[in-house]
Structure 1
Amino acid sequence: MKKIASILTCVLLLMSACREDFIEILPEDTVTVDLLYKTDKDFQDAVVGIYGIFQDQYQNMYYFGDIRGDDSWDELVKGTPGAVDNFTLSNDDGLLISTWRNYYKAITRANTLLEKIASADPALVTNKDRHIGQAEFLRALAYFDLVRIFGDVPLVTKSLSIEESYKTPREKVDRIYDEVIIKDLLDAEAKLPTSYSGAEVGRATKGAARALLGKVYLTRKDFAKAEAKLQEVTTMGYALLPNFADLWDYGKNEHHSEYIFDIEYEQGLGGEGSVYTNRFTPKFTNMIAFYGIAGSVDDQNTPHQVLFDLFETKDKRREITATRGYYDASGKFVPILISSNNMSAYTRKYIMRIATANDSPANWKVIRYADVLLMYAEALNENGKTAAALPYLNQIRTRAGVDPYPTLTQTQTRENIALERRRELAFEGHRWFDLVRTGQAFAVMQKYGMKQHMAVFPVPLAQVQLINDRSIFPQNPGYD
Structure 2
Amino acid sequence: MKIFISNCRKLSLHQLALIGLIILLPLSGCKKMLESDIYSQLAPENFFQTEGDANVALITLYNPFTSNWGNADPGAGNWYGALYNADIKSYFIRSLMTTDELQTDWDANLTNFTFGPSTWVDANDPTYPKIRYVAKATDVINNIEKSTLDAGIKRKYIAEAKVLRAWLMYVLYDFYGPVNAKTDPATLADNTITPRPDATTYSAQIEADLTAALPDLADKYNSDATNWGRVSKGVARMLLLKLYMHNKEWNKAEATAKEIMTMNYSLEDNYADIFKKKAGKELIYAVPTNDASPNYWIQEVLPGDFKQAGSIQRAPGWGGYYMPWSFYNKYETNDTRKTTIIDHYTKSDGTEANKSNGLRGAIPLKYTSIQGDGPGYAIDVVVFRYAEVLLAIAEAINEQRGPGEAYQYVNQVRARAGVPNFTGLTQAGMRTALLDERGRELYGEGVRRQDLVRNGSLITNALARGKTNARPYQVLFPIPSAVIIEGKGIIKQNDGYPQ
Q: TM-score, normalised by structure 2?
A: 0.84
Residue 477 of structure 1 corresponds to 496
Residue 283 of structure 1 corresponds to 304
Closer, same or farther: CA 448–133 of 1 in aligned 2, 3 Å: same
Q: Quick one: which of 138, 141, 145 aligns to 1:118?
A: 145
Q: How far does the alpha carbon of each residue in 1:95-136 deviate from its partner, in whole angstroms, 9 at most, with x for none?
A: 6632111x223312211111011122243x753222112111
Question: Aligned to 1:190, what secondary structure does the other structure show?
Answer: helix
Long gaps (5+) in structure 1 = none
Q: Quick one: which of 170, 174, 193 aligns to 1:148?
A: 174
Provide the rounded CA distance (Å) in 2 between the counterparts of 1:366 and 1:325: 27
**Residue identity in the other structure for 1:377:** A
**Residue identity in the other structure for 2:384:** I
Query: Larger deviation: 445-454 or 90-99?
Result: 90-99
How far apart are 1:286 and its partner, in Å? Answer: 2.0
Residue 332 of structure 2 corresponds to 312
Provide the rounded CA distance (Å) in 2 between the counterparts of 1:97 and 1:160: 28
Alignment of 1:208-223 (within 5 A): 208-223=235-250
Q: Is the 8 A contact 1:325 1:333 kept in 2?
A: no
1:99 aligns with 2:127: yes
**Residue identity in the other structure for 2:377:** S
1:138 aligns with 2:168: no
Q: Is the 8 A contact 1:27 1:159 kept in 2?
A: no
Query: Larger deviation: 354-363 or 219-228?
Result: 354-363
Closer, same or farther: CA 227–5 of 1 in aligned 2, 3 Å: closer
Residue 8 of structure 2 corresponds to none
Provide the rounded CA distance (Å) in 2 between the counterparts of 1:140 and 1:411: 32
How far apart are 1:90 and its partner, in Å? Answer: 4.2
Q: How far does the alpha carbon of each residue in 1:341-374 deviate from its partner, in whole angstroms, 9 at most, with x for none?
A: x854311114654668553223332210000000
How far apart are 1:477 and its partner, in Å? Answer: 2.6
Provide the rounded CA distance (Å) in 2 between the counterparts of 1:427 and 1:298: 17
Provide the rounded CA distance (Å) in 2 between the counterparts of 1:300 and 1:144: 28
Q: Is the 8 A contact 1:22 1:165 kept in 2?
A: no
1:206 aligns with 2:223: no
Question: Aligned to 2:284, what secondary structure does the other structure show?
Answer: strand
Question: Aligned to 2:12, what secondary structure does the other structure show?
Answer: coil
1:10 aligns with 2:34: no
Q: How far does the alpha carbon of each residue in 1:212-270 deviate from its partner, in whole angstroms, 9 at most, with x for none?
A: 21221121111111111111111111100000011122xxx32111000122222x2x3
Closer, same or farther: CA 117–276 of 1 in aligned 2, 3 Å: same
Question: Aligned to 2:148, what secondary structure does the other structure show?
Answer: coil
Closer, same or farther: CA 312–288 of 1 in aligned 2, 3 Å: closer
Residue 405 of structure 2 corresponds to 388
Alignment of 1:42-441 (within 5 A): 42-55=53-66, 56-59=82-85, 60-74=90-104, 77-78=105-106, 80=107, 82-92=108-118, 93-94=120-121, 97-101=125-129, 103-123=130-150, 127-159=153-185, 164-178=190-204, 180-196=205-221, 197-249=224-276, 253-266=277-290, 268=291, 270=292, 272-287=293-308, 291=312, 297-320=317-340, 322-326=341-345, 334-335=352-353, 344-350=361-367, 353=370, 359-384=376-401, 386-441=403-458
With CA pairs under 8 Å and 6+ residues apart, which has the higher RCO, 1 or 2? Answer: 1
**Residue identity in the other structure for 2:201:** R
CA RMSD of superposed structures (Å)? 3.0
**Residue identity in the other structure for 1:335:** A
Closer, same or farther: CA 281–23 of 1 in aligned 2, 3 Å: farther
Provide the rounded CA distance (Å) in 2 between the counterparts of 1:211 and 1:174: 19
**Residue identity in the other structure for 1:11:** L
Provide the rounded CA distance (Å) in 1 between the counterparts of 2:39 and 2:171: 27
Closer, same or farther: CA 327–283 of 1 in aligned 2, 3 Å: closer
How far apart are 1:466 and its partner, in Å? Answer: 2.9
Provide the rounded CA distance (Å) in 1 between the counterparts of 2:156 and 2:360: 45
Q: Is the 8 A contact 1:459 1:476 kept in 2?
A: no
How far apart are 1:274 and its partner, in Å? Answer: 2.7
Query: Larger deviation: 85-94 or 158-167?
Result: 158-167
Question: Aligned to 2:420, what secondary structure does the other structure show?
Answer: coil
Q: TM-score, normalised by structure 1?
A: 0.87
Residue 49 of structure 2 corresponds to 38
Q: Is the 8 A contact 2:176 2:494 kept in 1?
A: no
How far apart are 1:23 and its partner, in Å? Answer: 5.0
Q: Which runs of 4+ in 1 moved over 6 A?
A: 160-163, 337-340
1:463 aligns with 2:463: no
Residue 445 of structure 1 corresponds to 462
Q: How far does the alpha carbon of each residue in 1:38-74 deviate from its partner, in whole angstroms, 9 at most, with x for none?
A: 2111222222211122212211233322111112112
**Residue identity in the other structure for 1:364:** V
Closer, same or farther: CA 96–188 of 1 in aligned 2, 3 Å: farther
How far apart are 1:336 and its partner, in Å? Answer: 5.2
Provide the rounded CA distance (Å) in 2 between the counterparts of 1:466 and 1:297: 41
Question: Aligned to 1:277, what secondary structure does the other structure show?
Answer: helix
User: Quick one: percent identity of the two aligned structures?
Assistant: 25
Provide the rounded CA distance (Å) in 2 between the counterparts of 1:345 and 1:28: 45
Provide the rounded CA distance (Å) in 2 between the counterparts of 1:162 and 1:139: 15
Provide the rounded CA distance (Å) in 2 between the counterparts of 1:126 and 1:414: 45
Q: Is the 8 A contact 1:152 1:173 kept in 2?
A: yes
Aligned residues: 460
Q: Is the 8 A contact 1:64 1:149 kept in 2?
A: no
Provide the rounded CA distance (Å) in 2 between the counterparts of 1:170 and 1:148: 15
How far apart are 1:451 and its partner, in Å? Answer: 1.0
**Residue identity in the other structure for 1:452:** P
Q: How far does the alpha carbon of each residue in 1:176-224 deviate from its partner, in whole angstroms, 9 at most, with x for none?
A: 101x211111112222111232311221111221122122112111111
Provide the rounded CA distance (Å) in 2 between the counterparts of 1:345 and 1:189: 41
Provide the rounded CA distance (Å) in 2 between the counterparts of 1:364 and 1:302: 18
Provide the rounded CA distance (Å) in 2 between the counterparts of 1:431 and 1:13: 37
**Residue identity in the other structure for 1:211:** M
Q: Is the 8 A contact 2:484 2:491 kept in 1?
A: no
**Residue identity in the other structure for 2:23:** L
Question: Aligned to 1:261, what secondary structure does the other structure show?
Answer: strand
Provide the rounded CA distance (Å) in 1 between the counterparts of 2:426 and 2:494: 42
Question: Aligned to 2:264, what secondary structure does the other structure show?
Answer: coil
**Residue identity in the other structure for 1:22:** M
Provide the rounded CA distance (Å) in 2 between the counterparts of 1:414 and 1:64: 24
Closer, same or farther: CA 241–140 of 1 in aligned 2, 3 Å: same
**Residue identity in the other structure for 2:317:** V
Provide the rounded CA distance (Å) in 2 between the counterparts of 1:392 and 1:461: 44
Closer, same or farther: CA 287–88 of 1 in aligned 2, 3 Å: farther
